[in-house]
Amino acid sequence: MTLAETPPADVESGGAPAQTMLIDCDVHEGLKSIEQLVPYLDPHSRRLTQHYGGWVASNPNGFPYVVPMESKAVARMEWELTDGTVGTELDAMRTQLFEGEGVSRAIINGFSYFSARAASYEFATALSSAYNDWQIEHWLNQDDRIYGSVHVVANDPQAAVREIDRVAAHPQIVQVFLPLVTDRQFGDPIYRPIFEAAARNDLVVAFHHGAHTETLFGWPRYYIEWHMVAAPQSAQNQLLSLICNGVFDQLPELKVVFMETGVAWMPWFMWRLDQQYRELRSEIPWVKRLPSEHMKDSVRICTQPLGDITPRQFTQLVEMADSERIFLFASDYPHYDADSVDVVLKSSIPEGLRNRVRYQNALETYPRLRGLIG
């Protein structure tokens, strides 16, 4: 007799309701830990899960890549703390960044990207406010060499403005942080109150990509592809949006900073967009200046990763873009591809340009750092 032929027991016993066979077609079993899969993996996949960074064991459906770096924190290995984290302890930052890398002042922006949340804006706003308060208490108030960022949720612009006005009261807050999202354009007028609030409070608006930042084709098959284009593509799109939607015409005093996008696209972007503007000005007549002029006055690019090009090429690049005021030194501490200043800003770069990139441009860019002059 097969299972299908088994008579329901209740039929024979009589009285009670009949019980038939029951097949549940949607049941979830679970892993206590993703590590339970390790014994079943091939050697290469085992290496990816056990030795390389970026594999978030608790969220295997999140960021789709394993970064092939030995640091699980995707950091310089000597900067990893004993608990496996990086950038999480002030004393370590003092030793590693200020002493070890010769940094005098640092602007922190965290690893958290609240504006990248696709929904639940109230909760995201609460998280960003909590983060801002934590940042002030545990970092800014502990070391006056550290300057901070206001984290906001851009898709609730009114709440974002309230948060900017609230947190800007702290004198070491120097910028508003926005993630390089790829599903919205920050030049859209609905986001304008955020830029107005930044300018009103003498804050820069800074952009940084994250695990939410997709490429034009979404998620390429490999991390190397994503890491190559996600940041510069999205930065170029957001910068284009800011320029073409008149942000800098409306707020000429505003400065925006793009991080980790590479640097060599800058001259091409200026040339190409100026050309487009000469041809298509009538479509965006509220833009009153050449895009390259707006960029020279209002847009700043962090240098890391600068190791992609030689010092001579960097010098030529600055000349081509006529833009010695645009580039700001950035290390990207504590990531594995962090730039050490003496390695990337070699003495073969003219001293005047080197000092501009080391600190002068930053002093001119961040209104709240101008007090450091002299």
- Could you list the residues that contact another protein (CB under 8 A)? 189, 245-246, 250, 274, 277-282, 285-286, 290
State in angstroms the smallest separation of the CB of 287 from another protein. 9
State in angstroms the smallest separation of the CB of 249 from another protein. 9
Let me know: does 340 contact 303? Beta carbons within 8 Å. no
One-letter amino acid at 127 equals L
State in angstroms the smallest separation of the CB of 266 from another protein. 19
Cβ-based nearer residue to another protein, 242 or 259: 242
Q: Which residues, in sequence order, are CB contacts of 292 under 8 Å at separation 6+?
A: 270, 271, 273, 274
CA distance 50 to 200: 48
CA 207 to chain CA centroid, nearest Å: 6
State in angstroms the smallest separation of the CB of 229 from another protein. 29
Cβ-based nearer residue to another protein, 13 or 282: 282
Q: Would you list the DSSP string of 220-266?
A: -SSHHHHHHHHHHHHHHHHHHHHHHTTHHHH-TT--EEE-SS-STHH
Q: What are residue 53's DSSP bridge partners?
A: 67
One-letter amino acid at 178 equals L
Reference 148, options 181, 178, 110; nearest CA is: 110
- Using DSSP, state whether 33 is helix, strand or coil: coil
Cβ-based nearer residue to another protein, 114 or 269: 269
State in angstroms the smallest separation of the CB of 154 from another protein. 17
CA distance 94 to 145: 10
CA distance 369 to 151: 19
State in angstroms the smallest separation of the CB of 322 from another protein. 13
Long-range pairs, 133-139, Cβ under 8 A, ≥24: 135/108, 135/110, 136/167, 136/170, 136/172, 136/173, 138/90, 139/90, 139/108
State in angstroms the smallest separation of the CB of 275 from another protein. 8
Cβ-based nearer residue to another protein, 274 or 332: 274
Q: Which two tokens stand for residue 154?
A: 């851009």
Reference 76, options 366, 337, 343; nearest CA is: 337
State in angstroms the smallest separation of the CB of 106 from another protein. 36
Cβ-based nearer residue to another protein, 229 or 290: 290
Q: Which two tokens stand for residue 240?
A: 């284009």
State in angstroms the smallest separation of the CB of 325 from another protein. 21
Give the number of C-alpha atoms closer than 13 A to the C-alpha of residue 131, restricted to the C-beta side.
23
CA distance 183 to 199: 24
Cβ-based nearer residue to another protein, 292 or 361: 292
Cβ-based nearer residue to another protein, 194 or 301: 194
Cβ-based nearer residue to another protein, 202 or 274: 274
CA distance 235 to 181: 9
State in angstroms the smallest separation of the CB of 274 from another protein. 7
Cβ-based nearer residue to another protein, 262 or 267: 267
Cβ-based nearer residue to another protein, 221 or 281: 281
Let me know: does 86 contact 79? Beta carbons within 8 Å. yes
CA distance 170 to 126: 19
